[in-house]
Amino acid sequence: MSGARAGSARTEHGPGVLVAALSSAFGVALIQGTGLLDAAAKADPVTGASDTVGALLRVTSVVFIGVAMYSGAVVTTNTFSVIVAGRVRQIALRRLLGSTARAERGAVAREGLLVGLIGAVIGLVLGSGGVAAIAAVARAAGVLADFPYSYANPTALLPAAAVVLTTWLAAVVGSRRVLTVTPMQALGGAEERSEEEGRASRLRSGAAVALLSFGALLLFGGVAIGAVDPLGLLVAFSGGIVSFTGVVLGAHLVIPRALRIVGRLMGGSATARLAAENAVRYPQRSTRSTVGLLVSVTLITTFAVALRTFGDMITIASGDDPVYYAGVDTMLTTVTVVFSVLIGFSAVIAGVGLVNALSLGVLQRTRELGLLRALGFSARQLRRMVLAESGQLVLTAVALGLLLGTVYGWAGAHSLIGAVRGAPALWFVGLPWPVLAVVVAGGVLLTLVASVAPARRATRIAPVEALGVE
Amino acid sequence: MTTALPAQPRTASEHLEAVARVQGVAKRYGSGDATVHALRGVDLAVRRGEFVAIMGPSGSGKSTLMHLLAGLDSPTSGEVWLGDREIGALDDTALTLLRRERIGFVFQAFNLVPTLDVIGNVMLPFELRGAKPSREERTFIGRLLGELGLADRLGHRPRELSGGQQQRVAIARALASRPQLVVADEPTGNLDSRTGREVLSLLASAAAGHGQAIAMVTHDPIAASYADRVVFLADGRVVAEEGRMDAERIARFMLTLEDAR
Ligand SMILES: Nc1ncnc2c1ncn2[C@@H]1O[C@H](COP(=O)(O)OP(=O)(O)OP(=O)(O)O)[C@@H](O)[C@H]1O
Ligand SMILES: [Mg+2]
């Protein structure tokens, strides 16, 4: 019994620990890495005098860590809400026997704290160790000078602590539903009820719409100003931040609609329709499993498009000077690659969340999948159904992200150098095809990877499993 | 138990006519001391156009037998034939296709796909086959839904329906594509007596009118009296089998079975 318990705790909380460990490792590694580079710069007599490099490094790494943590927190919230959804009966039974809702929720929150702690410590070790290992290799290769640097860096504890906090918060938010579980649900019929999660407040939706509209206004205003003055970038930049905050805050409005549209594109076969229905069955769950991916893809695309458009515009304005072009190009490419890799890490965390949401979804639908098998769904059709569902989620996030990112990137470039003499027309966009291709390929890969485990689990379900009366 | 007849098909032609047939099937769950003998060697054939009722005390193996008959589960020993195919020899895909083409189900509980509305659930067998229902089939389904009192519920999801309504949707689905074999586990369990009788007439006419084979588990002697043949199970064995019986005799026989335990 206790063995089975431990096993189920591992499948339930494994992904939570993984996400916490990844976020923590990423944060710790960035802090240690920038600390190391900072120390290297200080040790260097040329750059040592100024602290600009260090300050710049710290600011950028805070942004990257923030995005990764956000991605991780959303994913973990989802994980906990899915876990709670699967436990409704059990919780209801304990409520029936006299346990209070608060005690039940407290128990889930404590699990969150534990998950966060374990993940944070693993991340601390992996992040510091990883940087130390890379530094050792770099020193051995003679790339990095020998200077003293202590990995017992107290700031490295910050991301780890933040992970503990966000994971705990995620568990608290994700377990909101515990409060709505009534003792009656222990007596409910065998048919699964829909996951009635708290409706997003009207305030939240209103704020999202307001931010989005105001942000869009600033964004396009910034582009207009940019046509006469580079200060437009500041306006457009704030517009971008404000409007994207609106998108993320209002993701529960945007993503389910986008999922419906994409679902309709998947075709009319029984497999595709069931997959499409399932992706919008729990809108909140689907939103949370895709929003992290949406954020990552948007950011990567924004930067890549902005830099490419910027580069192309400069080149055109400078009269296609090949030497000049080559210089700009290498610099922009390096920045794009570094940035994409760092944000890509958040995309990985989002991917873990997606895999997890799909797997748990299949696990919780055992009966229904058994029924489909009984009615004549072949193993292949089931596999295709899971693949379609995974594809629908990924495609929605990637398509939205590419779209938003292109608009933001375009706005960024034009608001900065729209006023430069010889700059191309307002609708000029430089598309960084290699980056876009990598994003799309990553999406395809994620779709496939995310569907492997759940599809295997789904096809192992025997038709009779639908028939057990509990 | 003088009325009991052997369950084996007696002639070759009956063999050929059997839509589904089990021969010497046993089903055990667990092992060692904890072994449960759900079925201990059962022979049963359901023929074209025949409406068979399966009765027996709770735990006697009725549901298990239905699952085997419908190719949903495999026996520990013995053979299960669907038409001319022995299912032990089929791989998963072949068996799935066979089920899809030939069998309709009504289970004891949880029959419907929660994300599909009533009409979506009823049409699912057609969609799985990739076949569009003909005009004639559509009229038939429309009439079926009307007779089952579901005509104004077509756009509803299962969770918006009562237990009995859900069960009627499952019955409509099982009959919609006129499969050769319909397996129904207590299809009238959640229904009031009037609706129950309508469902039974539908099943009887599916057998008599369309030549479908119907195997129905029931605890209700009145329901069993609609059948052409009643098979009694007790403790994993067929203990009696008889042609059409009236409800009163069935009830009396059930009592003797339960007392014998
Ligand atoms: N998956 C299983 N694992 C273990 N034992 C099982 C399983 N399924 C059925 N049994 C056992 O097999 C026996 C027959 O079960 P079955 O469900 O066929 O009975 P039944 O005649 O349909 O009963 P009821 O009228 O209550 O539905 C029972 O003793 C049951 O406990
Ligand atoms: Mg039963």
Distance from CA of A38 to the nearest CA of B (A): 56
Q: Which residue reads 């999406």 in tokens?
A: A443
- Which two three-digit tokens encode residue A265? 């594109």
pLDDT for position B5: 46
Which strands form B181-185's sheet, in the order they lie side by side?
B103-106, B181-185, B213-217, B51-55, B229-234, B237-243
Q: Whose CA is nearest to atom 24 of ligand 1?
A: B58
Query: pLDDT per residue over A31-54, tens digit each?
Result: 888 888 878 777 776 655 556 666
Query: Is A226 buried (19+), middle (13-18) or exposed (0-12) by CB count in 10 A?
Result: buried
Average pLDDT over residues A153-176: 89
Give which of A183, A208, A164 is closest to A76, Cα–Cα.
A164
Measure the CA angle with vertex A404, ends A399 and A409; round to 5°. 125
B61 near A CB under 8 A: no
B110: left (phi over 0), alpha (psi -120 to 50) or beta: left
Average pLDDT over residues A1-25: 73
Cβ–Cβ of B96/A376 closer than 8 Å? Answer: yes
Q: How confident is the model at residue A124 (pLDDT cuts 50, 70, 90)?
A: very high
Q: How confident is the model at residue A469 (pLDDT cuts 50, 70, 90)?
A: very low
How far is Cα of residue A467 from the mean position of the Cα atoms in its chain?
38
- Strand (E) or helix (H) holding A218: helix A202-226
Contact between B250 and B221 under an 8 Å Cβ cutoff? The reply is yes
Q: Which of B67, B96, B99 to mutate to test the interface with A (most CBs of A within 10 A)?
A: B96
Cβ–Cβ of A464/B73 closer than 8 Å? Answer: yes
Between A136 and A67, whose confidence is greater?
A: A136
Q: Which ligand places an atom closest to the C-alpha of B58?
A: 1
Query: pLDDT per residue over A385-438, tens digit each?
Result: 999 999 999 999 999 999 999 999 999 888 888 877 777 788 888 888 988 999
pLDDT at residue A190 above 50?
no
pLDDT at residue A197 above 60?
no
CB of B36 sitting under 6 A from ligand 1: yes
Which amino acid is located at A345 in the chain?
A: F
Contact between A160 and A22 under an 8 Å Cβ cutoff? The reply is no
pLDDT at residue A458 above 80?
yes
- Which two three-digit tokens encode residue A398? 């990637």
| Cα dihedral across residues A276, A278, A284, A288: positive or negative | negative
CATH of domain B47-68+101-259: 3.40.50.300
- Strand (E) or helix (H) holding B230: strand B229-234
DSSP for residue A270: H
B160 near A CB under 8 A: no
Q: Which of B124, B181, B183 to mutate to test the interface with A (most CBs of A within 10 A)?
A: B124
Picking from B105, B125, B159, the nearest residue to A191 by CB comes out as B159
Contact between A370 and B67 under an 8 Å Cβ cutoff? The reply is no
Q: How far is the CA of B74 from the centre of ligand 1 (A)?
A: 15
- Closest-CA residue of A relative to B93 is A378
Which strands form B36-47's sheet, in the order they lie side by side?
B36-47, B18-29, B77-82, B85-86
Percent of chain A with pLDDT over 70: 88
Contact between A95 and A104 under an 8 Å Cβ cutoff? The reply is yes
Q: How confident is the model at residue A10 (pLDDT cuts 50, 70, 90)?
A: low
Contact between A124 and A24 under an 8 Å Cβ cutoff? The reply is yes
Cβ–Cβ of A375/B105 closer than 8 Å? Answer: yes
How far is Cα of residue A280 from the mean position of the Cα atoms in its chain?
19
Ligand 1 atom having least distance to the Cα of A464 = 1
Distance from CA of A75 to the nearest CA of B (A): 24
CB of B61 sitting under 6 A from ligand 1: yes
Q: How confident is the model at residue A120 (pLDDT cuts 50, 70, 90)?
A: very high
Total Cβ atoms within 10 A of residue B63: 22
Measure the CA angle with vertex A197, ends A193 and A201; round to 5°. 150
Q: DSSP of A360-398, one letter per residue?
A: HHHHHTHHHHHHHHHHT--HHHHHHHHHHHHHHHHHHHH
Long-range residue pairs from A427-431, CB within 8 A, at least 24 positions apart, any chain: A428/A309, A428/A312, A428/A313, A428/A316, A429/A305, A429/A309, A430/A305, A430/A308, A430/A309, A430/A310, A430/A311, A430/A312, A430/A313, A431/A305, A431/A308, A431/A406
β-pairing verdict for B213-217 and B51-55? parallel
Q: Which residue reads 């222990």 in tokens?
A: A186
Between B60 and A279, whose confidence is greater?
A: B60
pLDDT for position A189: 42
Residue A423 sits at φ, ψ, to 5 deg, of -70, 145
- Closest-CA residue of A relative to B73 is A464
Q: pLDDT in tens for each of the 261 residues of chain B?
A: 444 444 444 444 555 578 999 999 999 998 888 899 999 999 999 999 999 999 999 999 999 999 999 888 889 999 999 988 898 888 888 888 888 889 998 887 778 888 889 999 999 888 888 888 899 999 999 999 998 999 999 999 988 888 888 889 999 999 998 999 999 999 988 888 888 898 899 899 888 888 899 999 999 999 999 999 999 999 999 999 999 989 999 999 888 887 766
Q: Which residue reads 């802090």 in tokens?
A: A31
ipTM of the complex: 0.81
Cβ–Cβ of A376/B159 closer than 8 Å? Answer: no
Query: pLDDT per residue over A80-119, tens digit each?
Result: 887 887 788 788 888 877 788 888 888 889 999 999 999 9
Domain range annotation of chain B: 47-68+101-259
pLDDT at residue A212 above 90?
yes
Ligand 1 atom having least distance to the Cα of B62 = 21
Q: How far is the CA of B207 from the centre of ligand 1 (A)?
A: 28
pLDDT for position B28: 93
Q: 3-state SS string over B30-48?
A: CCHHHCEEEEEEEEEEEEC
Which amino acid is located at A465 in the chain?
A: E
Q: Which of B62, B66, B183, B190 gets mutated to test ligand 1 (max ligand atoms within 8 A of its CB)?
A: B62
Average pLDDT over residues A278-290: 84
Q: Which residue reads 């949880």 in tokens?
A: B110
- Which two three-digit tokens encode residue B33? 């001391």
- Closest-CA residue of A relative to B185 is A467
